[in-house]
Amino acid sequence: MLEKLPLGRPEIVVENGKQTTVAHSLKLKSAHIDDRLLPLLPTAMDAEQMRQLLAEHFREHLPNFEFKLSECHIRQVYYHPEKQCGVNYRLVFDNGNGTVFHEWLYGLMIPQGSATGRFERAAKRVKTSRVVQPFLQDFPPVSQLDDLQMILWLFPHDPKMKRMPDAVDPDFMKSQINEHAALLLDLPEAEARNWRCDEFSFDRIKHMPGKRCVLRYRCLFESESGEKRPLTFFHKMYSDSHSRLYFQLLDAAYEQLTHRSGAVEIPRPLRYLEGYNTFWQVDWGGTSLVDIFRNYDRKALFPKLAGILANFHKQEIPELPEGPSIEKMLNIATEDATVLTHYLPEYNNLTATILYYLNNSGVKWTGADIPKTPTHGACRLEQMLIRDTGEIALVDFDAFANADPLSDVAEFMISLQMLGFSSNIPHDELRDAANIFFDSYAARVPWDCPKNRLAWYALTFLITKILSPVKHYDVTAIREMRKEVVDVARRWLGHLKM
């Protein structure tokens, strides 16, 4: 049946004996994308060229600068074709005596002619200037790299989060920590007054410019009697007041799923900081499962993960917000398909076919057999931590909601399959792992798990996942998807019943 579907394939050519595809609007070169309004984008994405340009930039602002910028690494990229591209750079400075210093820098490239005005507005937003490395004390928190039409923010400065400098101010943070010592040390107020945090440091974990910043705080408390007690916890700052809702969702998840039922491990939320769009959370430890899952036997790991998600879904949590409706999910998929095909028209037929079958699938969406349960809302390996002892925890509950549990299952499966496009993991290995996960999950829940409803969710997520490498300037993933993504779509379309 599938061979007769009007499933459009990208334009195919044969190159060196392998099938590849031809790009249209976004022209892929060997290692970059040609963007007519951001013509210098390849330079911004070349770590060595940026090391040289940034070294000169630091010398221009610091005439007596004695440190060598020895390394420049590109981490996250936030790309809006023909509009702007944000790049998180990780810099390594060498003082010439064998000591190195690490620094974070965010660069925003924008079209010719608009950089100066935006730079001036960005500079005016800076209320407090602070640096992590003392030798950069005289470097401006916001600067402009004229040759690239790029605005630069030196950490801890951010385009929107004005209070980020406070988060790395030792004196300010020690005062906050001491104010909440009873909570952090889990002691009665009277006893906590005998303790003080006199040593404070932090690790930079994640910075999504304009959205979120995660720091790990390291504190050393000392009592009046001289007893010492180390403590680490996470500081999560957001760009707006939605942070309060995210904290409330996390708190509800922890209270019901961990504290009361013990169904799922969730690091304990500690406190919401009024006026800072920030909350604190326990440092549970562990390693992100997406980084090391291949170290484990998938026939043991994925049934375990399925059991955790099944236990999660079988809980009842009152007054949770409703998850996105079927109509909203379809609208998101349609909007993402429009953006995707504008920049990569080769996916026109593929996305049109998927959207046609999503709209005409015949999937049953009402009735007593359609469960509504607590759902994570972003169920992926990236949101799971694993300890050396094998314990697993879930994190990031910003999208926690009451919804169809199969939406979580589908997102986990399609996200797992898509890992093959940005790594060297064989696609058949990931597909097998996803199938093991589904079979184990279906055997552990009391409701039916029809493949057609699962496939509907998976295909809505697939369109967004295909667009994601464009948004993150992941040229490797864009290329790799062209070889396999049609087959991924075909397999899921095979489960949709007309």
* Domains of the chain in sequence order: 33-157 (no CATH), 165-282 (3.30.200), 287-493 (3.90.1200.10)
Least reliable range by pLDDT among 42-46, 78-82, 390-394, 482-486: 482-486
Q: What is the mean pLDDT of residues 268-290?
A: 96
| Helix locations, 297-447, DSSP H | 298-313, 326-343, 348-359, 405-418, 427-442
- Peptide bond preceding 156: is omega within 30 degrees of 0, i.e. cis? yes
Q: What is the mean pLDDT of residues 357-366?
A: 86
CA 162 to chain centre: 21
Coil, strand or helix at 491: helix
**What pLDDT does residue 393 have?**
98
DSSP assignment letter at 265: B
Token pair in block for residue 466: 């295909």
**What pLDDT does residue 479 have?**
87
**What pLDDT does residue 371 have?**
93
Q: With 60 as the cut, is the pLDDT of residue 177 above it?
A: yes
Coil, strand or helix at 200: strand
DSSP assignment letter at 206: E
Q: Which pLDDT band holds residue 29 (cuts at 50, 70, 90)? A: low
Q: Which pLDDT band holds residue 21 (cuts at 50, 70, 90)? A: very low
Q: Which pLDDT band holds residue 496 (cuts at 50, 70, 90)? A: confident
CA distance 498 to 493: 10
Q: Which amino acid is at 132?
A: V
CA distance 456 to 410: 9
Q: pLDDT of 450-460, one tens digit each?
A: 999 999 999 99
CA distance 492 to 301: 23
Coil, strand or helix at 22: coil
